[in-house]
Structure 1
Amino acid sequence: MFPVRGVPSTPSVAPRADIPPTVVVVGGRTVHLHSLGGPDADHLLKRIAADVGAAINAVVAFWGEDWSRDISVVAAGTREQFLAAAGGPASQWEDIAAVTLVERVDPVSRQVAGQRIMFAPEASHMHEGALRIVLRHELFHYAARADTALDAPRWLTEGVADFVARPPVADVPPGAVPSPLSLPSDADLDTPGEQRSVAYDRAWLFARFVADVYQPDKLRELYVAACGVGHADVPTALRSVLGIDADEVLKRWREWLRR
């Protein structure tokens, strides 16, 4: 399952003072890897440390260099620690491997405080490819947080994060394309299980379509237009960036999916 984007949150679980973070410097950025204790957390952070350089490169290739030079990653030792940090009802997080959290954010001034990527202990058991996707997905949210409005359409932020994270030639998952075809919605992301998984797939396919047909730079431009500070609604952003209205976008997306 691909993780959802974090929302502004007050941290209720802090990294343990008796466990110093592992610090990795890659690509001019400093990654602080915090363990909340336990063998699963320690093992997970070793795996993340080995792959975080490639993840940073993937995000920079799409989003550019202008984002935080300090990255905080926290690995929970227990499910209870993860749920306490994530907040909200436990059912919301039952199929979530990681989430990007932030204490305060002011997109107007691009000021972000207390941002960190929080991994659930179950992530330590993910196979290599799946963990790579989760790390890149969350790292994109980390990079884009300062430029993402608090009321941005979550389905588009998630679809772009998955575009950055997933292999570019990944197969279309069964059931991901509804009939009739429609744009995803934020509500689709809020139900754990199959509905949420399919919603992520559809959001990713839309982002992949835009990048494939119009080039990745246009997808980035669409993100800024539809998700940035003072953003337009999605139909207006589509007209502004792609030069066509939403109905024509759906028509071209449908044709792309048939190919």
Structure 2
Amino acid sequence: MVAALLAVELIGGVGLVAEARRSPQAAPLMVGEHRSVVLDNHGGRPGEQLLDRVAANLPPAVDAVEAFWGTDWAHRIEVTATGSDRQFATLAGGDGADVAQWSDVAAVAVADRVDPDRRTAAGQRIVFAPGADAMSNAALRIVLTHELFHFAARTDTAIDAPRWLTEGVADFVARPAPDPARTRTGPVELPSDADLTDPGPRRAQAYDRAWDFARFVADRFGTGRLRQLYLTACGPGHVDLAVAVPLVLGVDLPDLLAGWQRWQG
């Protein structure tokens, strides 16, 4: 999930080789040689315009996800544009979802069923909120890439994985370099899943801290180690972060956090 704009938010040389369609039954787009993309519009003309922009940004988004995660993930990608806040909340959080809970969320990656043991997921899709069409192109690409990482990592992510770490790594994949115009807010400490629950500044700051932590790990240990930390701390049968950090990075968690503090300058 990307809280709007917390991304500011459960193949090389690719190119689009088919014209966009507007329903899951129509011929899909192709990204590269292997990935088909279905664009499903429920948002009228704004939704159609948004999906046109999504289509244009899919190749670099796929490139970014594959560069970090690899190519072994679902070959069919469905993207939905919604037409109302209620519709978005229902698709994002299920029947009876609180619309206010999703008020600052631009998009979410969801699935109907996931079987991590068999590495399968049914009903996977990326769903955009009706206001997402107002995003800049740069912001849209960040959000799309963030959600596409969740999509790619879905079958390798435990249901009870620490959400803050899954979001931080997704944000790193979407924006590996800092935005010079953004200033740090909040303490330099690990967020909790509870920090990501409610809309507002606390959630925005938690996303930023999670992203900053992931960026630090990648900068100090390399992106391959960050990926391995994700699998160890967030994958099926995952261990606590305090155990995963020395296993993967070779340092204790307190030392890692002290290094993160120094890295901040």
Tell me the TM-score normalised to structure 2 length.
Answer: 0.88
Deviations along 1:140-196, one digit per CA (max 9) or x if unpaired, are: 000000000000000000000000001524248434340xx3211101111201111
Matching residue of 1:65? 71
| Structure 1 CA distance for aligned equivalents of residues 37 and 76 of structure 2 | 6
User: Which of 42, 50, 53 is the aligned partner of 1:47?
Assistant: 53
Aligned counterpart for 1:186 among listed residues 188, 193, 202: 193
Q: Choose from 205, 215, 226 the match for 2:212.
A: 205
Corresponding residue for residue 196 of structure 1: 203
User: Residue in 1 aligned with 2:102?
Assistant: 93
Distance 1:182 1:137, change over 3 A: same
TM-score (norm 1): 0.90
Alignment of 1:70-219 (within 5 A): 70-87=76-93, 88-171=97-180, 173-178=182-187, 181-219=188-226
CA distance in 1, matches of 2:224, 2:179: 20
Identify which of 31, 36, 59 aligns with 2:37: 31
The C-alpha deviation readout for 1:69-117, integer Å capped at 9, x for no partner, is 0001011022222122123211210100101111000111111000100
Look up the SS of the partner of 1:48 in the other structure: helix
Question: 1:255 and 1:52, CA in 2 relative to 1: closer, same or farther beyond 3 A?
Answer: same
In 2 relative to 1, CA 256–158 (structure 1 residues): closer, same or farther, beyond 3 Å? same
CA contact (8 A) 1:19 1:35 kept: no
Cα shift at 1:135: 0.2
- Give the paired residue count: 245
Letter paired with 1:58: A
**Could you tell me which amino acid in structure 2 is paired with residue 42 of structure 1?**
E
Moved more, 22-31 or 36-45: 22-31
RMSD: 1.8
The one-letter amino acid of 2:232's match is: A
Residue-by-residue CA offset, 1:196-238 (whole Å, 9 max, x unaligned): 1111000000000000010000000000000001000011000
Equivalent pair of 2:36/2:76 in contact (CA under 8 Å):
yes
CA gap of 1:173–1:211, structure 2 versus 1, over 3 A, is same
Question: Partners of 1:141 and 1:49 in 2: how far apart?
Answer: 18
- Higher mean displacement: 63-72 or 164-173: 164-173
> Does residue 259 of structure 2 align to residue 252 of structure 1?
yes
Unaligned runs of 5+ in 1: 7-16
Q: Name the CA distance, whole Å, in 2 between partners of 1:60 and 1:33.
A: 21
**Which sits farther off after the overlay, 82-91 or 197-206?**
82-91
Partner of residue 220, structure 1? 227
Would the alpha carbon gap of residues 19 and 144 (structure 1) be closer, same or farther in structure 2, given more than 3 Å must change? closer
Consecutive unaligned residues in structure 2, runs of 5 or more: 11-21
Q: Which amino acid aligns with 1:202?
A: R
- Kindly, what percent of the aligned residue pairs are identical? 51
